[in-house]
Every structure is written in structure tokens, then in C-alpha cells.
Amino acid sequence: MLRSTAVLLWLTAVSACRTANTTPDPIAAAPTQLPTSTAAALPTAEISTAAPEANSAAYPAVPTLEPTAYPAPATAVPSPTPDGYPAPVTPGSQDTYLPFIDNGLQATATPSPPTPAPSPTPIPTVDFAAVKADLQAQGQDLAYAKIGFHVSVGGNTDGLDEWMRQLDAAGVPFFLKSADNAEPIYVAQELMRQSGVPHTLVYRKVAGGNFVSVPNYDLPAAEAARQHWQLHTEAFPPELDPSLVWMETMNEVDKNRSEWLAQFALTTAQLALQDGRKWAAFGWSSGEPEPTDWESPAMLEFLRLAGDHPDQLAIAVHEYSYNLDEIGDGYPYKIGRFLEIFRVADKYGIPRPTILVTEWGWTYDEVPEPPQAMIDIDWAARLYAPYPQVKGAAIWYLGPTHTNLADLTQRLIQPVLTYSLTHYFAIPRPPDQAPLDPNQFPPP
């Protein structure tokens, strides 16, 4: 149905109604040859959509890279139905249309008679192991597309499980954030245990009354941190492994209390290190905090601690354009705000801290039509790729809202999967670091 003539005509009509955009289709086939210039001369990140056959011609065959080992479960664990979590509400209409994005694939004709149904046309996935080996031989490194999804209880996640499984099978790390719903994080966690692919998984408790999403500002920062930590650790789902899953305990905190929050974060960070947990601080709103706030004494101390413990401490930020039609509106002061954190870290000789973009998108309740959304996502993927400290960005939102946002966002699952399996980026190889000039990444 997705590749039928009717759908193609429908998509053509949709595209014709939009403002003309000369940006090329981000999924369209790109040259498979790697650049011959050095990593330092690649500030915008080189990109390829090579199919396996093309890779075999351009790169010598190499053995599959050994993944990072994670503790394996004693026995295979089935997909859970966690106790204590409300059952998902019935999703909205599933009669949604996925876009046909021309990536060089040919639609598979339906045989006559129409049974059995044909298998879906496979995505010509990049041979990432071969590409990585070739890039490293040239003194560069490989980066994947880092755009993932934000889920919750209910909404519309049709296709998310397949998105996870296909990326995991291809060795592509994905980014997934969930609020109050442990099940998708648990499924991803068990995939990671078995494959060793380093997915980035974030869980946040939302329900539960006062002082769940923000701390008690009326208490001394250290005491508020201890109480807040106890609340969230006691509520952390027991089926989730805190050494693999990031805890995000705050959401869009008060930017006018940045020094208090820095002291709060210092105490919480020490508790997280002591308990062997992964913790992401702040959850700043898009465009916050003020740049000078990062240079206060307590905030610099927290940045140093986070920079020294990148696998356990992170900074959670939200990056929205607040504009449906211009993803780069206000760039880099809204989307791209993470660059300011890195600028301060570099200024004071602090290792760049781990960044989790736990909410990313356009507005609270709108998502563009898939063709335009994928142009915007391609830009964001290029922006985040050169910085290995940025682990990913979660598109807002597959969960329930007062609008049909979940259904609109669900239409992006398949295009984002295709994009992630067919794109990679050549970036500087550590200890070299990408420069921070935002002009490297002009918005579409």
C-alpha cells in the first residue's frame, strides 16, 4: 500500500503544496567514496548512503568488529509486561501513511494472486564495520545518525520495536527516552545485553506528585538532592539495570536558580557515583540556561566532575526550534545550545561532558509532514554527529497528548530507520575534537 501509485500521487501533491526547498533529499543516494581530506578539513561531516554491494567494491572485506561486552542474562528474557505500570491506552487510528522516500529502492510488485504477501523490500544497509575500519585507517572515525524517539505510556509506538531490532542487528546504536514506561527501555536493554551495541537508554519518572520532576527549591540544595535521589531510586523499575540505563530525574528546572541547581547536581552526582548509577542532570528547557551560568563556581565544579565521569554523569538538555516551519529558528541559541556547554568546558580545560538531548523537535504539539521533517532531521543528524559526547536526541513525541502528536510522530519511525541504516559520518578521531563554530552547520 505504501508504494502504490495512489500514495505516490498523494505525496507528490503534499510536496507541491509546501514552500519550495532546494535542499536535496537527505535519503537520496550519495557518493560512496570517502573524502581524501583530513578530519580537520571535515567540519560539516562527510556522509554516505552506500549499499553493501557498493561497500564491498570500495572497502576491503573486514571481520565484524567485536562489540563492547555487556553482562548477559542467564536465560533469554521475554518482552515484559512490567508490574506497577498502567496498561497502554488504545492508540489512535492506525490508518497513517508512511512516506515513500526515494532511496534508490524499487517497490516490490504484488504477485497475482495476492497471496502469499511479498516480504518488505530490505533496506540496503551500510556495512558499518567495513566503513569504520577504513575511516580509522585514514585517521578518522565513524559516527552514526543519533536521532531517536521519546515514548511514554500509551500514544502510538507502532513500528518502534522493529526500529530497535533492525538498528541493533546492524550494529547501529540508537537513542531512546521513556517517561514512566519501563517496557520499551527493558526491551532495548536486553537487546543491548545480547548484542553489545551501546544504545543510549534514558528513563524518567514523571507521575507521583510534588518534587518528582523538579526538586524542592525551599530546602538547602544538598538536602533536596538527597531526598530527590531517594525518591527516584526507590521508584526506579527493578527490571531496568541502572548501570546501563540513564536516570533523568529533573525536567525543565528553574533557570533563575542555576547556582542552587549546580550545588544540587554536585550532591546528586556524588550519590550516583557512589551507587554505581548513570545520572543525567537538569533537563534544561530549549534556550536555557544563560551562557554565563555555566561559569559560576559550583557549575564549573559540576562540569569538571561530569567531564571526569562521562559514562556515569551527563547533562540533559531539550532542543526545540519552537517553530514548525524553521527548524533552525534562533540557531544555535535553541537547537545547538549544547555548543555553549562545550565552549565553556574547552575554555577551562574541562573534558567535554556527555550530553543527552532528551527532548528534540519543533513544537509541543506539532510535527511537519514526513518529507520536510526528514530534511530537518538530516540537518540535526549532521549537527550532532561530529561530537561523540552528544549521545543522541529524542524526537518529541510518541506518547499521549491532547492532540494527535503521537500519530504524526509515528509516521517518522520508518523514515528515521531507513536514514539511520543508510547514513554515516566521517568525524575527527579522538583525541582530536571537532571545532565549535556553529557556522559549520547552516540550517536548511
Adjacent-strand bridge partners of 56: none
For residues 47-75, average pLDDT: 33
Complete edge-to-edge strand list for the sheet that includes strand 424-428: 46-48, 424-428, 140-143
For residues 91-120, average pLDDT: 31
User: Which residue type sits at 323?
Assistant: N
Virtual CA dihedral for 52, 57, 62, 68, nearest 10 degrees?
-40
Pairing assessment for the beta strands 424-428 and 390-395 based on DSSP bridges: unpaired
For 392, list phi and psi in degrees, rounded to 5. Answer: 160, 175
How many alpha carbons lie under 13 Å from residue 199 in its C-beta half-sphere? Answer: 32
3-state secondary structure (DSSP) of residue 139: coil
Helices (H), 277-366: 297-308, 338-347
For 300, list phi and psi in degrees, rounded to 5. Answer: -65, -40
Averaged pLDDT score across all residues of the chain: 80
Pairing assessment for the beta strands 200-204 and 245-248 based on DSSP bridges: parallel
3-state secondary structure (DSSP) of residue 317: strand
- Return the pLDDT at 208: 84
The Cα–Cα gap between 168 and 160 comes to 12
Q: Contact at 8 Å (CB) between 85 and 99?
A: no
- Return the pLDDT at 79: 34
Q: Over pLDDT 90: what percentage of the chain?
A: 71
What does pTM read for this prediction? 0.76
pLDDT band at 121; cut points 50, 70, 90: low
The domain 144-440 is placed in CATH, from the list 3.20.20, 1.10.1200, 3.40.50, 2.60.40, at: 3.20.20
pLDDT band at 6; cut points 50, 70, 90: very low
CA nearest neighbour of 390 among 38, 36, 33, 45:
45
User: Which residues, in sequence order, are CB contacts of 211 under 8 Å at separation 6+?
Assistant: 227, 228, 231
For residues 53-74, average pLDDT: 32
* 145-159, 207-221, 255-269, 400-414: range with lowest mean pLDDT: 207-221
N- to C-terminal Cα distance for the chain?
31
User: pLDDT, tens digit, for every residue of 342-391?
Assistant: 999 999 999 999 999 999 999 999 999 999 999 999 999 999 999 999 99
User: pLDDT, tens digit, for every residue of 330-352?
Assistant: 999 999 999 999 999 999 999 99
The Cα–Cα gap between 299 and 292 comes to 10
User: pLDDT, tens digit, for every residue of 76-95?
Assistant: 333 333 333 232 333 332 22
Pairing assessment for the beta strands 147-151 and 390-395 based on DSSP bridges: parallel
Residue 119 has pLDDT above 70, yes or no: no
Q: Contact at 8 Å (CB) between 352 and 389?
A: yes
| Distance from chain centroid for Cα 218 | 34
From residue 31, give the alpha-carbon distance in Å to each of 9, 51, 54, 125.
28, 11, 10, 15
Helices (H), 309-444: 338-347, 370-384, 405-410, 413-422
For residues 137-144, average pLDDT: 98
- Return the pLDDT at 209: 78
Adjacent-strand bridge partners of 140: 428
Hey, what's the cell of 394?
Answer: 529524542
> Residue ranges of the domains in the chain?
144-440
The Cα–Cα gap between 34 and 426 comes to 8
Specify the DSSP element, H or E, that contains 14. helix 5-17
Q: Contact at 8 Å (CB) between 261 and 303?
A: no
From residue 318, give the alpha-carbon distance in Å to each of 338, 351, 393.
9, 21, 9
* 29-33, 153-157, 250-254, 317-321: range with lowest mean pLDDT: 29-33
Hey, what's the cell of 346?
Answer: 574547552
Pairing assessment for the beta strands 354-361 and 313-320 based on DSSP bridges: parallel
For 13, list phi and psi in degrees, rounded to 5. Answer: -65, -40
The Cα–Cα gap between 155 and 134 comes to 42
DSSP-derived secondary structure for 196-247 = ----EEEEE---SSTTSSS--TTS-HHHHHHHHHHHHHHHS-TTS-TTTEEE
Q: Over pLDDT 70: what percentage of the chain?
A: 73
Burial letters 182-201, b for 16+ CB under 10 A, else e: bbbbbbbbbbbbebbbebbb
